């Protein structure tokens, strides 16, 4: 094996050191509240619509280049074992990956630019990857970029199958993002997602995360619940809608009442112990800024006891 010159070794060492120092600095000195776990055994999951880069954001103060440090700080503060992104793009990955050196990355290719919009970061220390794949939410899920006629755009789901190194238990993550325009399309996407989940053993602990673009009373959410899943937020906080999770970078000033559209679901092989809508923000030059146009959603889980 060819040996690297000392200068290259030093460069690699300095890059790694810089990433670790940045990670430490942003977890200890940040103005964003650091979330503490109830116990070291729980699995903490975060669902984060990170907002894809849009030309319309330029000049508003909400473009990715101006909010990326805030997004990083909010994400780091959650101390999540698993982060499920939506609207993830190359710019997000290039910036964030160095601040999560203990996480590996898994996504399902979608689009000619090979973007992985529903990317998942997961702790390498906590989890071993068993499998990663995905399908399109369509009548022909294995057909590249296929969709329902009722959907305005192509949508998919990333499936990540893990083994928990602490407990030996398996865990399956389904990360998705439903159509932004038509409820009929979202209803069919929900049914297609549940059909994919049915292909796997029901006793495996499973979590569904995503931006579903519709509130709890819609057929799409009812279909997921009928498929054996509970909304973790409702399970712990009651059935009253907590308000919008999409806020168009306006936070509590958004003022609209379309309700919570971002969810973390689980099946009965898991027990949610904590769940929160992350409303962290930062005032910059007198203006309240947010890491995304969505609030992130977090949940902690314990494994249910195995059936005898």
CA-wise closest residue to 162 among 174, 152, 153, 179: 174
Residue 228 lies in a domain: yes
Domains of the chain: total: 1
Residue 19 lies in a domain: no
Strands 120-123 and 127-136: unpaired
Q: What is the CATH number of the domain that holds 131?
A: 3.60.10.10
Residue 80 lies in a domain: yes
Q: pLDDT, tens digit, for every residue of 139-173?
A: 999 999 999 999 999 999 999 999 999 999 999 99
Phi, psi at 121, each rounded to 5°: -100, 135
Residue 122 lies in a domain: yes
Residue 213 lies in a domain: yes
Q: Which domain holds residue 90?
A: 36-303
Residue 26 lies in a domain: no
Q: pLDDT, tens digit, for every residue of 236-278?
A: 999 998 999 999 999 988 987 779 999 999 999 999 999 999 9
In whole angstroms, what is the distance from residue 246 CA to residue 257 CA? 10
Q: pLDDT, tens digit, for every residue of 178-202?
A: 999 999 999 999 999 999 999 999 9
Q: What is the mean pLDDT of residues 94-101?
A: 97
Residue 155 lies in a domain: yes
Copy the structure tokens of residue 192. Answer: 């297609």
Which residues lie below 8 Å from residue 196, measured CB to CB, with a gap of 6+?
135, 141, 157, 159, 174
Residue 3 lies in a domain: no
User: First vs last Cα of the chain: how many Å apart?
Assistant: 52
């Amino acid at each position: 094996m060819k040996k690297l010159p000392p200068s290259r070794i030093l460069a690699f060492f300095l890059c790694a050191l810089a990433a670790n120092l940045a990670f430490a600095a942003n977890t200890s000195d940040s103005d964003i509240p650091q979330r503490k776990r109830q116990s070291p055994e729980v699995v903490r999951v975060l669902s984060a619509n990170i907002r894809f880069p849009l030309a319309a954001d330029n000049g508003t103060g909400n473009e990715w280049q101006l909010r990326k440090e805030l997004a990083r700080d909010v994400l780091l503060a959650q101390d999540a074992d698993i982060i499920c992104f939506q609207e993830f793009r190359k710019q997000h990955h290039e910036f964030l990956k160095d601040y999560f050196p203990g996480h590996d990355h898994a996504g399902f290719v979608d689009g000619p630019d090979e973007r992985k919009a529903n990317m998942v970061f997961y702790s390498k220390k906590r989890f071993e990857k068993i499998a990663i794949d995905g399908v399109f939410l369509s009548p022909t899920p294995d057909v590249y970029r296929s969709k329902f006629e009722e959907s305005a755009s192509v949508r998919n789901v990333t499936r990540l199958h893990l083994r928990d190194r602490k407990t030996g238990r398996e865990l399956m993550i389904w990360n998705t993002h439903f159509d932004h325009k038509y409820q009929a399309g979202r209803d069919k996407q929900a049914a297609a997602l549940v059909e994919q989940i049915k292909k796997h053993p029901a006793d495996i602990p499973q979590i569904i995360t995503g931006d579903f673009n519709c509130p709890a009373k819609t057929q799409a959410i009812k279909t997921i619940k009928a498929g054996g899943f509970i909304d973790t937020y409702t399970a712990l906080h009651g059935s009253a809608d907590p308000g919008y999770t999409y806020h168009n970078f306006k936070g509590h000033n958004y003022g609209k009442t379309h309700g919570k559209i971002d969810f973390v679901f689980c099946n009965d092989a898991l027990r949610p112990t904590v769940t929160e809508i992350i409303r962290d923000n930062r005032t910059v030059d007198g203006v309240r800024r947010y890491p995304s146009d969505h609030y992130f959603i977090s949940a902690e889980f314990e494994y249910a006891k195995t059936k005898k």
